[in-house]
Homo-oligomer: A and B are copies of this chain.
Amino acid sequence: MAGNSIGQLFKVTTFGESHGIALGCIVDGCPPGLPLTEADIQKDLDLRKPGTSKYTTQRREPDQVKILSGVFEGKTTGTPIGLLIENVDQRSKDYSNIMDRYRPGHADYTYAHKYGFRDYRGGGRSSARETAMRVAAGAIARKFLATRGVEIKGYLSQLGPIKVEQFDWEQVRQNPFFCPDASKVADMEQLIDDLRRDGNSIGARVSVMATGVQPGLGEPVFDRLDADLAHSLLSINAVKGVEIGDGFACVEQKGTEHRDEITPEGFTSNHGGGVLGGISSGQDLIAHIALKPTSSMTTPGRSVNVDGEPIEVVTKGRHDPCVGIRAVPIAEAMMAITVMDHFMRHRAQNADVVSSAPLIPPAVAD
């Protein structure tokens, strides 16, 4: 069962290779009546698209999206929305040297075993280029969620050793790193310049949150909101870890520290990250992800070729020294898709529920 769909009710199915003709996706299940234009989607795509600063890959892709179906007279019709982005700046010949060899840390070796052969041009389907369509589909989810008061926003919380210390949402969209701490931007620039010069790369931590989520979303026992979010975020290329709320810090916490107490004025804290028992609590939904340093770099690495002989590999092509940077809009998109899907799943079963439970405000500090 091939896994190119995500979401059960707000279902996104994507196709496309890095150096193929086009990328595309179908969003099936979007509620009808939502005002939607290509510009709504393009806005998010432009945040992810390559070549916008010297800190990301230099491949120039306009990532111009076309809506092919599912929208009529400016509104979604409830039928499937077909989206298409043509690839325009392939340089497939950069990859002829990896045709018969497996780049270490890449999916070359595993694709070869799984499928018997692979489209090696630019990583084919395993390329992060595939994530463009996630952002496009996520933009539709975000547009809908906004009508319900839900806002989704992410930021780079750590670039290699550089941790964010001050926090200002206004800054996030004003530097090429999605960094909320203006005082760290110069360090980040320097780090990336150094890495590029050294033919190396670096990991990153990205944080993403949703505000305004109603209590009740999530489907225990398996499809908990946080479990589905973990699936969704870990499906992004290069992600190696997910935390909900305090995440791994919980390991050393005591119960009296961790539990978010409840008062009529609001929760006293949000260690849980907005989820209790797999269901949203109405607090901010908070997740963090760890992204590995990309293995696409010019420092030679040991590997084998298709005949099992030892070789050295140098990854040419145009690459991001830190894939975590452009991961911010992707993580936002994935959270949007998951929250949207759970909004729909919840109401499918529970549309008639009129709960008399009191509505507790989120923690003041959120």
Beta-carbon nearest neighbor of A130 in chain B = B221
- Partner pick for A115 among B20, B113, B350, CB 8 A cutoff: B350
In the complex, are the beta carbons of B262 and A104 less than 8 A apart?
Answer: yes
A21-37: contact bitstring with B at CB < 8 Å (1 yes, 0 no)? Answer: 11110101111110000
Residue of B nearest to A82 (CB): B15
Kindly supply a per-residue 1/0 record for chain A positions 242-269, scoring 1 wherever the CB is within 8 Å of any chain B CB and 0 otherwise. Answer: 1111111111111111111111100010
Question: A315: shortest Cβ distance to chain B, in Å?
Answer: 10
Instruction: Tell me which residues across on chain B come within 8 A of A47, comparing CB atoms.
Output: none
Contacts of A21 in B (CB 8 A): 66, 68-69
- Contact B32–A259 (Cβ < 8 Å): no
Contact A292 B2 (CB under 8 A): no
Known: A4-B26, A15-B79, A110-B277. A105 touches B258 (CB 8 A): yes
Closest 4 CB pairs of A and B: A107-B277, A3-B223, A105-B259, A3-B219
Given contacts A105-B258, A202-B253, A240-B272, 10 further A-B contacts (CB under 8 A): A24-B68, A33-B116, A114-B217, A114-B355, A115-B355, A202-B254, A227-B235, A240-B247, A264-B304, A264-B310
Assembly CA distance A105 to B203 (angstroms): 33
A109-B281, A124-B72 known; A158-B251 Cβ under 8 A: yes
B277 touching A126 by the CB < 8 A rule? yes
The answer to whether A31 touches B350 (Cβ under 8 A) is yes
- State how many angstroms separate the Cβ of A227 from the closest Cβ of chain B: 4
A261 near B66 with CB under 8 A, answer no
Q: Closest Cβ of chain B: how far from A319's Cβ, in Å? A: 10
A183 at the binding interface (Cβ < 8 Å): no
B299 with A255: CB separation less than 8 A: yes
| Chain A interface, number of residues (Cβ within 8 angstroms) | 161
Q: Quick one: given A205-B248, A303-B261, are A119 and B219 in contact (CB under 8 Å)?
A: no
Complex Cα–Cα for A20 and B72 (A): 9
**What sequence of 0s and 1s flags, for each residue 65-85 of chain A, a beta carbon within 8 Å of any chain B beta carbon?**
010111010010111111010
Residue from B110, B261, B304 within 8 A of A216 (CB atoms): B110
- With a cutoff of 8 Å between Cβ atoms, the chain B residues found around residue A259 in the complex are 104-105, 293, 295, 301
Nearest CB in chain B: distance from A354 CB, A? 7
A268 to B104, CA, bound (A): 10
Q: How far is the CB of A34 from chain B (nearest CB, A)?
A: 10
Of the residues B1, B82, B264, B296, contact of A24 by C-beta under 8 Å: B82
Task: Flag A93-113 by CB within 8 Å of B: 1 or 0 each.
Answer: 000000000101111011111
**Cα–Cα, bound, A299→B75 (Å):** 33
Q: Tell me which residues from 315 to 366 in chain A have a Cβ below 8 Å from any Cβ of chain B.
A: 344-358, 360
Q: A116-B33, A259-B105 are in contact. Are A264 and B309 (CB under 8 A)?
A: yes
A346 touches B114 (CB 8 A): yes
> Are B279 and A111 in contact (CB-based, < 8 A)?
yes
Q: How far is the CA of A241 from the CA of B248 in the complex (A)?
A: 6
